[in-house]
Amino acid sequence: MSQRLTAQDFDQELLVLFDAYVHGDLDRRGFLRQAQRYAKAGVTAAGLLASLSPNFAAGQQIAAGDARLKSEKVTITSPKGYGSLHSLLVRPVSAGTAPLPLVLVVHENRGLNPHIEDVARRLALEGFMVLAPDALTPLGGYPGDEDKARANFAQLDQAKTREDFLAAVAWLRARPGGNGKLGAVGFCYGGGIAHWLATHLPDLQAAVPFYGNSPAPEDAAKVKAPLQVHLAGIDERINAAWPAYEAALKAASAPFAVHHYPGTQHGFHNDTTPRYDAVAAQQAWTRTVAFFTTHLA
């Protein structure tokens, strides 16, 4: 088996280009054209893109049919959003009928792909009832192709999508088997949603944004839930807005902690791409689980 590539195997400028491509600031043709300058002997720009793109099989930690988990696909009614929201609900079998802490998992800007489903299963094995919605439901759900998923995601009306996530929160709180205490964790786009939920839900018990867009500083005063924020060391697009929001959180005496991971790339927790940093990801995950255990148990 060939050695797995890491961020150190790529030029930093290429990683910046890839980040722009992933977040819709650069189309595929534009990425390939600009990436060609970083192609070395025997490697094409298309090859570079393939190397940087997700490998879900390589990153999977918990199989979909793992016998330790009870997993089911559910549909949530969202009257103020798009109408309905397909989601994955997971809980550990070992808990029996005991009430469990609740966690909403919010995906990146590609919908509920196999990686986020895997993250939901990982959290469930830590002793939580986990709901992972798919914001792409109105467009048919995650299409199985990251490029198409990204293109579809850009078509969503974000006001309706946010209402869908609020509906998911309400549904999960009302679900039998929960202890009534709910937290939210999100990655990239989902990190921004976790931040947003903390400004809109005064009864949220905990929020963990991973490298997500910060809300406007004036919204910091609305934050009541404890925040645990994870930021990559090399992530200018996200990090540029953080100092102003951090200052606003401090001024509002909002409960928060922020963890910076030096030398890591945006998406360092996603173990399906070379931007993954195993040490930082494990540290952030351990902190996340401990944080939810403290505030939700």
Give the separation between CA 219 and CA 186, rounded to whole angstroms: 19
1 confidence band (pLDDT: 50, 70, 90): very low
> Other CB atoms closer than 10 Å to residue 116's CB: what's the count?
24
Residue range 64-296, CATH number: 3.40.50.1820
Give the separation between CA 143 and CA 134, rounded to whole angstroms: 11
CA dihedral 201, 204, 210, 216 (to 10 degrees): 30
pTM of the model as a whole: 0.95
Q: What percent of the chain has pLDDT over 90?
A: 95
| Residue 157 Rama label (left phi>0; alpha psi -120 to 50; beta) | beta
The residue with tokens 């997700």 is 54
Could you give the strand order of the β-sheet that contains 178-187, starting from the edge strand earlier in sequence?
69-78, 83-92, 129-133, 100-106, 178-187, 206-210, 227-234, 256-265
Residue 3 has pLDDT above 80, yes or no: no
Give the separation between CA 73 and CA 241, rounded to whole angstroms: 36
Give the separation between CA 126 and CA 128, rounded to whole angstroms: 6
The residue with tokens 């929960």 is 178
Over residues 133-177, the pLDDT tens digits come to: 999 999 999 999 999 999 999 999 999 999 999 999 999 999 999
Half-sphere exposure of 200 toward its Cβ, with a 13 Å CA cutoff? 16
Half-sphere exposure of 282 toward its Cβ, with a 13 Å CA cutoff? 3
Over residues 17-50, the pLDDT tens digits come to: 999 999 989 999 999 999 999 988 678 999 999 9
> Other CB atoms closer than 10 Å to residue 289's CB: what's the count?
19
Structural domain spans, the chain: 7-53, 64-296
